[in-house]
Chains A and B, each alone.
Chain A
Amino acid sequence: MADLAGAPRPSSSVKLVLLGEAAVGKSSLVLRFVNNDFQENKEPTIGAAFLTQKCNLPTRTIKFEIWDTAGQERFASLAPMYYRNAQAALVVYDLTKPTSLVKAKHWVAELQRQASPGIVIALVGNKLDLTNDSGDGEGTDANDSGDARKVSTEEAKTYAEEESLLFFETSAKTGYNVTEVFTAIANAIPETSLKTARGAGASAAAASRAEEQRVNLNGPRDPNAKEGCAC
């Protein structure tokens, strides 16, 4: 093998945690993102699944360390173990279930109160495939049977803007917008908060800088982002 001193630098690790009510599709989003796969009637997660996935941006490679946590209420007290030191959080709700958005808002509030100051939070409304605007632009049989949407895009988006969250509506089932969520998060992670070595957390200074850099990221996305996680 040739001298590989010229290899790209080790990728930066980003700890990402998924939070949200039970059965909103957290594990399915991860499965779609990591394995490009979908399973109907997935078993509930009892615990916290750990997976990694690299994401190539035009200028850097980010390695997501994903903690997919159990959504059941009785495990809620364990969540701090996972969002502590996380640089990104995916707060997921079910578009067809208004209570799940309420729960999502609770999570957002808790994260803003207790997580790292620079944490990048994305609000994700999942199960878009059950609505009339399933994202693929073409009507399917499922759409004809009626629109199960109970949370309007407008409502969630307004909330996300108020709280400076990234916002996406996705379908883990069809894969719509899933990669985009992770790419957008990767792009929103400030360079300064990236740890280059595993375990070495971002310094306090970096974290505060990250805080300053926290901006409303809901605007039109970087066109490069689309090709980012070319996976």
Chain B
Amino acid sequence: MTPSEPPPESAATEPVDLTSTNPYSLHQAVHARRAEYVRPHRIRVKIGTWNVAACPGTDKDLASWFVDGKGIDAALTSLNMAENSAVERDTGTNGTGSDANGIHLLGGNKIGLYVLGLQEIVDLNTATQYMARVYATDNGPMERWKAALESALPDGYQLVTAEQLTGILLLVYASPEVAPTVSNVSTVSVGTGLLGYMGNKGAVATRIVLGDSTRMLFVNSHLASGSEASYVDRRIWDAGQILNRAQFKPVTFAGVSEDEGEKIGDEDFAFWFGDLNFRLDGLPGDDIRRILMLHTRGEYDLSKKGLLREDSLEGEGVVVQGASDSSEETTDGDSAATTSIDEAADDGSISLPDPDDFLPDPHDDPASLQATLDSLFPHDQLKRVMRERKVFHDGWREGPITFLPSYKYDVGTVGLFDSSEKRRAPSWCDRILYRTRKDKDEYEKKIREEEEARKKDEEMEARGMDHAGDDDEVLFDYDPDNDGDDQPLGSDGLDYEECEEDDGHSEDIVTKEGFSDRINLDIYTSHQRVTSSDHKPIISIFTLDYDAVVPELKAKIHAEVARELDRAENEGRPVITLVVDSQDFTRPNGRRESSDHLVDLGEIRFMKKETSSLTLANTGRVPATFSFVEKPTTEESGSASFPSWLTTSFLRSEVVEDEHGPVELGKEVTLEPGETVRALLEAYVGDIPQARMLNDGQISLEEVLVLRVTNGRDHFIPVRGTWSPTCIGRSIEELIRVPEGGIRRFSKTLSAKKGRVGSITYDLDVHSAAPRELFKLTDAVETLTERALADEQMLDECRLPTEGGWPFDEKTWKVVDKDTRSSHVIDVVDALDRDLGIGDAFKPETSSIERLEAASEVLLLFLRGLTDGIITTPLWNRIEQAGLVSIGQANTTPKMPTDDTFEDDKTTILDILAAAPNHNISFVFLTATLAKIASDLSPLSKAELDVLKSESPVRSSVLGRRSLSFRRAGTNPAAEALAALEKRRAKEKRFAEVFGKVVCRAPPPEKEKEKKVLEDKQRAVVELFLRRREDS
């Protein structure tokens, strides 16, 4: 291996997208810095192929030609040896063993990779021998050849791979410098012989990777023999099998293995050599022999054995004459060694043009060896099948053939073609082909282009333009590559082209790993003077420039790049800045100052919506998408299933003040850099059980919102509200302990004392017999009813609803706007909580009807909110079991009681309620008020009352029956009075329906039917107390 000048700029800094998280971008970024971790290398690769025909003594010859480069016959090649970089002059030629020409090929320690392909290292001529070989793992021959080669190689050369397939052997050795950079060696055998699988024919192939950058493939094949035309197809089939079946292990770099194994074609440089067995077609063998003998004439074998063999070739005048001229040739050879070596030395008998003028092109000289060879090329099967694209057409190349056919010689002779009876026609059976990645790509590109052109032609034809366009195409679509193929077979044109193309020409090959390598075929020739086999060894030397990765440096660069990418990735994340909007709009309940990240929504009153907002700004460099995270309920908070008191929404910040109201932007928002958006936080508690737990301090208004920026960080936004204690969601026992000044102040005092929010405990003093709030509400309802009635009298536009349960029946409410109603409710509740007059809670312009409905709604809300109701469950159970006529027994509908039972039942109930005096008082108070309101709203005139009184004896009978009798009587005063009375009864009943279920608490029944029965009973109990004696 010789270090060379650095290859051309292979590491231009390519732009790499540092923000991408794609793993390939890391690879690309590392690759962009490859100049920092690769070192240029130049090595020579020597490839030799030799069919040793199982001849004894061939192993002894191996070292001299393959390693030492000897056995070249400058006279029997048209190569200009003197100017070839792969040729060296012998030093100290006077000694033994020096070549007759005084030259040898590069070898020894000047070769980085020795690749040797041998065929027929075992004799396979008989079936029995063959079978014995197949089934015996006989390493003997391989070991013998390994030993032969290793003894010749300079010290330190290491075996890369050795694989034998029956007679086919592939050996690869690397120099001490190259060996450590060889990796991913994968060697396979493909048998294509008997039955299509046996190893008598086939290939051994190996894939190696040089310097973690360059994939190389070596295929040593022995294809089917036979000179008949039909065998050509078999050879093509064999090659196809090898191409298809060779499968290499996945390549592993830095411990990371690729997913898939590789096949032939995945490599950067491929070399296919061996006894390919292609012959010369269409010429009589004897003619070939004769024409070639003209060139070998005069040659003789150096060995005595050879002479003996030649004796047996009587009748072959050419050979005999050659033998007789042997001494002359020897001197010729000597002179060639001491003088310039060129074509002139080939054949002294040929007169040359003035050699000083120019070097004659051997192709142009009809008498030259090259001209003879050229004339044979059109008959070469391999060249033909490549041209016909049957095999080795996809980019494979061969160096110019400047040497005699490698087969078949009499063993022991330098240039005596088969003199046996068979007289086999000489042919170039032994070849070395090669292909670069670029060659393959260009071939594939060409195929694609042809395909496109073909399609275009078909289209043209389909449009009937094929003939019209002919001339144009010839003129304008002429493609020398494509159209060149149209030349008739046997044309010499291609071969000349190849020769010129390959001559000293090297080009950059971009490898699979993205490195730029260069290869040059330095020499392609035969060792004509090796005579121990009937084939001549064929040799190629390539110069390969490649970038070898220095693993330590690459790891370092990789780490650096990874760090840069990580940094870029982290710095390129979307960034959102949060600002809690200053609470400049004044709040009556005086919220605390919100700190940087904490949002304090201040006091949260029952049903009162409080809002706050955050401004979110995209302060990063990339668009940012974010949303509030829906948090999973954790065990701690999972017990209660309240509606969340906090809701969030995003509003476009610039249109908040717009009259049309803010535009909601949905759950997820994307902001461009510099844009802002407002996040609105709304607090609302309108659920009674939730209010109760807040009153009791079991839950608090604290929440952490999580704002997640997609691909960025999560922001935690603690949000807090302070619960404003309320009378809604309390028990009577609590409320009666509230002193003047209202529950809110009292609760705050209590929690300040205890250090935490909590319920009002029973050890505190009782301040009133029934909840003050109840007094206030009933009073307000009563007063407002009177007021409304008065307004009705005075104002034309004031008409009270007369039907149903107004003002307690939701369905009859005149104020239908929910917001208006709830704002009244909030104000009334606030007044109660602060122990203020309910009348003061309303704005002056609020109508009495509105006020009455609001007070009624709050009364119902208040009663619903009473923790145990007025008639608690235990009390209710006793009432149910008291055998009251009015409510009947279980599962029976209550009967309308007579006046007597009516009074009895009332007494019984009051007796039961007496066990809970505060409840009792509350109950009486409430029902008295309701009765009063019912009578106010459905008044009986004095006259009507008188009529009813006079009818009192009748009234002792069952009401229903009596009513019938009145109705029959027609329109008399008594009937009218009774109708008015029935109207009042209806109102009382409706009131009782509304209040029954909020006053009484009972375990909820399971069935719908039972629920109805229960509600009837509850209604009946309340109704008992709503009925006023008409005479009272």
Contacts and interface: CB of A to CB of B under 8 A. Distances in A.
A145 interface: no
Contacts of B514: 1-4
Interface stretch (B18-26, B898-906, B954-962): B18-26
Contact of B713 (A50, A60, A230): A50
B132 interface: no
Interface in A26-60: 34-35, 46-54, 56-60
B253 interface: yes
Contact of B715 (A46, A52, A59): A46
A60 B255 contact: yes
Interface string B484-525: 000000000000000000000000001111110000000000
B636 interface: yes
Interface string B692-725: 0000000000001011000111111010000000
Contacts of B511: 2
Contacts of A230: 555-556, 558-559
Interface in B605-629: 629
Interface stretch (B167-175, B379-387, B564-572): B564-572
Contacts of B468: none
A231 interface: yes
B14 interface: yes
Interface in B222-260: 251, 253-256, 258-259
Given A81-B629, A81-B706, A59 B255 contact: yes
A7 B27 contact: yes
B843 to A, nearest CB: 42
Interface in A43-96: 46-54, 56-61, 70, 74-75, 77-78, 80-81
A2 B512 contact: yes
A48 B712 CA distance: 9
B558 A56 contact: yes
A9 B556 contact: no
Given A49-B713, A77-B634, A231 B559 contact: yes
B637 interface: yes
Given A11-B23, A49-B713, A231-B562, A6 B512 contact: yes
Interface string A129-166: 00000000000000000000000000000000000000
Interface in A76-126: 77-78, 80-81
Contacts of A75: 704, 716
Most chain A CB neighbours (cut-off 10 Å) among B26, B559, B714: B714
A188 B254 CA distance: 20
Contacts of B510: 2
A2 B509 CA distance: 11
B216 to A, nearest CB: 15
A80 B629 CA distance: 13
Given A48-B716, A50-B713, A53-B566, A8 B555 contact: no
A78 B631 contact: yes
A2 B256 contact: no
A142 B944 CA distance: 103
Contacts of A1: 14, 28, 31, 514
Contact of B256 (A35, A60, A78, A81): A60
A51 B258 CA distance: 28
Contacts of A80: 632, 634
Given A4-B514, A6-B258, A47 B713 contact: yes
A141 to B, nearest CB: 31
B42 interface: no
B637 A56 contact: no
Contacts of B256: 8-9, 59-61
Nearest to B27: A7
A20 B566 CA distance: 25
Contacts of A46: 597, 715-716
Contacts of A2: 31, 510-515
Contacts of B31: 1-2, 4
Contact of B23 (A9, A53, A74, A81): A9
B555 A47 contact: no
A10 B27 CA distance: 10
B715 A47 contact: yes
A74 B705 CA distance: 12
A31 to B, nearest CB: 10
Contacts of B27: 4, 7-8
A118 B93 CA distance: 76
Given A8-B253, A50-B573, A231 B629 contact: no
Contacts of A56: 555, 558-559, 562
Contacts of B562: 54, 56, 61, 231
Interface in B505-549: 510-515
B259 to A, nearest CB: 7
Contacts of B967: none
Contacts of B563: 54, 231
Nearest to B715: A47
Nearest to B258: A6
Contact of A70 (B14, B559, B716): B716
B573 A34 contact: no
A6 to B, nearest CB: 5
Given A4-B24, A9-B23, A77-B637, A50 B714 contact: yes
Most chain B CB neighbours (cut-off 10 Å) among A47, A48, A52: A47
Contacts of B23: 7-11, 61
Interface string B116-145: 000000000000000000000000000000
B292 to A, nearest CB: 46
A3 B512 contact: yes
B894 to A, nearest CB: 52
Contacts of A49: 713
B712 A50 contact: yes
A167 B254 CA distance: 29
Given A8-B27, A8-B256, A81 B556 contact: no
Contacts of B255: 57-60
Interface in A217-231: 230-231
A56 B629 CA distance: 33
Contacts of A50: 573, 711-714
A202 B300 CA distance: 78
A52 B716 contact: no
A52 B631 contact: no
A6 B267 CA distance: 12
Contacts of B631: 78, 81
A78 B566 CA distance: 27
Contacts of B712: 50
B52 to A, nearest CB: 38
Contact of B716 (A10, A47, A51, A54): A47
A60 B569 CA distance: 20
A11 B22 CA distance: 9
A7 B573 CA distance: 25
A231 B567 CA distance: 12
Contacts of B26: 11, 54
Nearest to B711: A50
Nearest to B718: A74
Contacts of A6: 251, 253, 258, 512-513
Interface in B24-44: 24, 26-28, 31
Given A6-B251, A46-B716, A75-B704, 10 more contacts: A2-B31, A2-B515, A10-B23, A48-B716, A50-B573, A50-B712, A52-B570, A59-B255, A75-B716, A231-B563
Interface of B: 14, 21, 23-24, 26-28, 31, 251, 253-256, 258-259, 510-515, 555-556, 558-559, 562-563, 565-567, 569-570, 573, 597, 629, 631-632, 634, 636-637, 704, 706-707, 711-716, 718
18 contacts: A2-B510, A4-B514, A5-B512, A7-B23, A8-B27, A8-B254, A9-B259, A47-B714, A50-B573, A50-B711, A50-B714, A52-B21, A52-B570, A54-B562, A60-B256, A75-B716, A230-B556, A230-B558
Enumerate the 5 nearest inter-chain pairs by beta-carbon distance, A residue then B residue, closest first: A2-B514, A230-B559, A7-B27, A59-B255, A10-B23
